[in-house]
Every structure is written in C-alpha cells, then in structure tokens.
Amino acid sequence: MDAMTLRERIDSLKQKLAARRGSAAFRENVAAIEAEIARLEAAHKD
C-alpha cells in the first residue's frame, strides 16, 4: 500500500465523503466509497 496507514485511509475517505455529500456528481460514488471504508475497517480492526 502507499504511505498512508489503513486508519489514515479510512479517516481520509470519511472526511472526503462528509465534505462532498451534497454534490450530485459525488453522490454517484458514495456507495463505492462507503464499501471501501467498510472493507478497510473489516481488514484493520483496532
């Protein structure tokens, strides 16, 4: 993986999701981002 830890990647995705939730173009990608968050959280139990 790149320089980000899994926790940093999860937090980054959550911030990106929250920041752009109102954008019509972004809403098309919300399900994919939420699925990636769930996958990363499942793989990286703190």
Residues 7, 32, 44, CA angle at the centre, nearest 5°?
A: 25
pLDDT averaged over the chain? 82
Could you tell me if residue 29 is inside a domain? yes
Whose tokens are 């793989």? That residue is: 43
pLDDT at 25 over 60: yes
Q: Which comes out higher in pLDDT, residue 26 or 2?
A: 26
DSSP class per residue in 7-31: HHHHHHHHHHHHHHTT-HHHHTTHH
Whose tokens are 């954008």? That residue is: 23
Could you tell me if residue 1 is inside a domain? no
Could you tell me if residue 15 is inside a domain? yes
Please count the structural domains in the chain: 1
> Which pLDDT score is estimated for 12?
92
- Alpha-carbon distance of 35 to 41, in angstroms, equals 10
Return the DSSP state at 45.
-
